[in-house]
Each structure stands twice: as C-alpha cells, then as structure tokens.
Amino acid sequence: MKIRQSRFSANNWETVSESPDFLAEKAQLVLAFGGRKLLETIDAYGYLREIYPNAQIVINSTSGEILADKVYDDTLVVTSVWFEKSMVRTVQFDISNHKDSGRVGEQVAQALDGEELAGIILISDGGVVNGSELTGAANRCLNRLVPVIGGLAGDADRFERTLVGANQNPESGKVVGIGLYGQELKIGHGTMGGWDVFGPEREVTKSTYNELYQIDDRSALDLYKDYLGKYAEGLPGTALLFPLSIKITPESRPLVRTILSIDESAKSMTFAGDIPEGSTVRFMRPNLDRLVEASATAAQNSLTQLGATPELALLISCVGRKLVLGQRTEEEVEVARGIFGSKPCMTGFYSYGEIAPAGPNSPGELHNQTMTITIFSEQ
C-alpha cells in the first residue's frame, strides 16, 4: 500500500506526505474531505481527476478535516491510495428523504457484494438520511458479515446542507458505497463514546422511524427543552452538546443519538437513526477527559483486532465532540497517533454520524457522538 496525502488551503495545494515510489496513475482510491462552502467554490473533482486518472474519487463535506494528527476547518484534505494487492469499486445512489434510506442501503450492498469483498465504506449525505436504516439494510443484503464503516457528511454546525460525490463534484442527496476487495486486505475497527449518562431511564412512547414525538407520554421536544435550559434557544445545534443514550431492548448495548432537526409545530425531533417506540433513553452530558480517553480506547481496540502494523487509519468523529472539546479537539487525534506510532497515514473528518461495528464479529451500526477508527493493512 502506497499513499500520498495533500491539503488545499488559502488557494494553495501542498503535499504533506508521500510513500517512496508512489505513482499517481496507479492510485485506485482518492478520499477528499473538505469544508462545504469551499467545495461549492472550487472544482475539486476536476483537479483531482487530472492527477489521478484511474482512481475512484470520493469527495464529501465535513464539520472538520483530519490529516495526520491535526484538525483543520474549511480546507480540503486528500488521501490517495495505491493498493498493491487489493481492488476498489464505488457506487452512488440518490436519496431524497429519510424513508429512502433502507432501499438505498440495499442497493449499495447488492451492487458491491462479492466473494472477495473485505469491507464497505459508506459515505452519505448527512441531512436527509436515516443512518441506522441505511446501515442495517446494507448488512442484511450482504451474503456474509464484512465490516461496514463510514460516516454521514457534515456542514460544520450549520445543518444547512451536506455534499457527497463519487467521480464527480459533490452534491446534496447522494450516498456513496466504496467496496474494498482482496484476501490480503486486513481491516481493524474500534468505536467509543466517553459521555456520561445521568437521570432516570425514560420510555419512548411515540415515535416513527427516526422521528421522536413523546417520552413518558410527554412532548419529547418540551422535555428536551426543559433539560437544555438556556441552551434550548440554540436548537438544533446545541443538541450536539447533549445527546441521548438509547437502549432498543433492556438487554441491548446503549447507542448514542443526536438531533438532526426539530419541528416546533409537531413538537418532535428528528434523529440521525431510529428511535423505536418502547425503547428507553437517558440524557447525556460531556466529560472532556473521558472523550479523549475514548479515542485512545477505540484506537487500541482497532489495533488489537488488526493484529498487524496499520498502513492507513481512517478516523471519523462527531461534530458534537468537536464542539464540546473545543481547543482540546486535536487531543483525540493525537492520542490515536500515540497508539499507532508514526507509520500509518491518518485521515478522516468530523461528521453528522459515524458508521462502524460495535466490536469484533459485529455488523456495522450508526453511532453518534463517538470516535470511530478503522485501520487497514495489506498483508
């Protein structure tokens, strides 16, 4: 595996790192993560296509870009990969609303499934998708369990629109699936949150898919506003600071959900993933030290699972973590670098939702407010 990393900022391109003997025409995959407003003003795809004529080029908007052990805003970071023993395919589908999510997940899986499929990276529009339905449907349509990882595109903390594109300049309403193939390609993954829960468990008494109407027979939005207090005026953005922990069944492992939008007339909240009736939720609040420690745990879990020296690390973290951590944001990237050492190239972005298995031999799931880390090595 040979890799080149570059960055566009202040109208200038710079090469950050490059493997010896890297050949641009041999690159099969280019991952480009950038600020939404920047992507709307430059021809990122045209520039990258000229340099990488044979690559699958995937571009998406972010809430912050990760390159090496640094976090940037409103730049474009590019990681170009020449797999020496593996193959890459991409597919792209349109999505117009949350109800299309399951169908699109099925289409991605059916298009990419194959005997030597090693894993799928899902990159989705972050505003009009039910991430749990998208991921769940993809898992169900695969002939065998493979890691499904990725994330929902971001738009800083604006929640206006997000952009995704495969082999084109990115647009709203796109879902991209990247299929990675080859027996020599090994993938390790880890995900961890680090938030504190408090207060009683409350039952979801009225919901439809990812739209939450009532908790304990009370308006969900009114209850949430009571909880947020002075922060309620900043909804839906301030909801990133105060997510919900959800348990689908009493025995299930808790997942974290954050709000995508609110509806004042219906007194409802729309989340990035399902909030089924009968599930239980608890309020959550940040603990800065635990958030950073969670990143180290996710990195260590991925490394333990891989059982080899990683060559590439893909970090996808939540915009809510970035808002809470503030000036400490880079710490969660730096601790991952400390776990991996200097060898692997690191890239990634801050998202509106993270997709990764919860543990070894688990299907991919939608997470919110987590750091998800996926590492790759060709044996």
Q: Residues 270-291: pLDDT tens digits? A: 887 889 999 999 988 889 999 9
Model confidence pLDDT, tens digit, residues 113-139:
999 999 999 999 998 998 999 999 999
Q: Model confidence at 311, in pLDDT bands (50, 70, 90)?
A: very high
CA 116, 121, 125, 126 dihedral sign is positive
Tokens of 30: 């280019």
Residue 143: per-residue pLDDT = 95
Asked if pLDDT for residue 260 goes beyond 80, the answer is no
Asked if pLDDT for residue 183 goes beyond 80, the answer is yes
Alpha helices in 32-113 (DSSP H): 36-39, 44-51, 101-112
Which pTM value belongs to this model?
Answer: 0.91
Question: What are the structural domain ranges in the chain?
Answer: 2-192+289-378, 196-285
In the block, residue with structure tokens 């647009």: 171
Residue 254: per-residue pLDDT = 87
Burial of 146 (C-beta count, 10 Å sphere; 0-12/13-18/19+): buried
Q: What are phi and psi of 361, to 5 degrees?
A: 60, 35
Asked if pLDDT for residue 336 goes beyond 90, the answer is yes
When the pLDDT of each residue in the chain is averaged and rounded to a whole number, the result is 94
Q: Model confidence at 243, in pLDDT bands (50, 70, 90)?
A: confident
- pLDDT more than 90, % of the chain: 82
Residue 112: per-residue pLDDT = 98
Q: What are phi and psi of 59, to 5 degrees?
A: -125, 135
Residue 280 and residue 354: Cα distance in Å, rounded? 21
For strand 174-181 and strand 164-166, is the pairing parallel, antiparallel, or unpaired?
A: unpaired
